[in-house]
Amino acid sequence: MDQDTEDELQKLERLLTLRGSSRVIKAYVALQALGEKADLHSPEIPLQVANVLFEMRKDLGQSVLNLSESDLVNVLSVEVLQDGSTSITQVGRPQVSLSQGV
């Protein structure tokens, strides 16, 4: 991980510690633990990321009725194409490239 990414992650962790509810912090700690022991391509990781976001939504007072972690995974599902560009795959929607023709 490059230094800029590490710095941003540390900022995020400080904000979560200062402002996040206990449920958000516990979900993030579970994500960290999973990241240390699971393969990065494990299907458990996106589910735990979605769980963190789910808890954050609740923390911010956003409705989570009729919303599940798997709904968030579908929205956030990122596929890395073989040519190195990244696209977001959404059910029933075309792929959108995030690369800038580099």
The secondary structure element, H or E, covering residue 97 is: strand 96-97
Q: Domain residues for 65?
A: 3-75
Tokens representing 53 are 């976001």
What is the sign of the dihedral through the CA atoms of 17, 18, 20 and 23?
positive
**Res 84: pLDDT:** 41
| Average pLDDT of the segment spanning 86-93 | 42
* Chain mean pLDDT for the chain: 78
Q: Is 86 within a domain?
A: no
Q: Is 65 within a domain?
A: yes
Residue 90: phi and psi, rounded to 5, are -125, 140
DSSP assignment string, 41-62:
T-THHHHHHHHHHHHHHHHTT-
pTM above the 0.75 mark?
no
Q: Is 102 within a domain?
A: no
Q: Is 14 within a domain?
A: yes
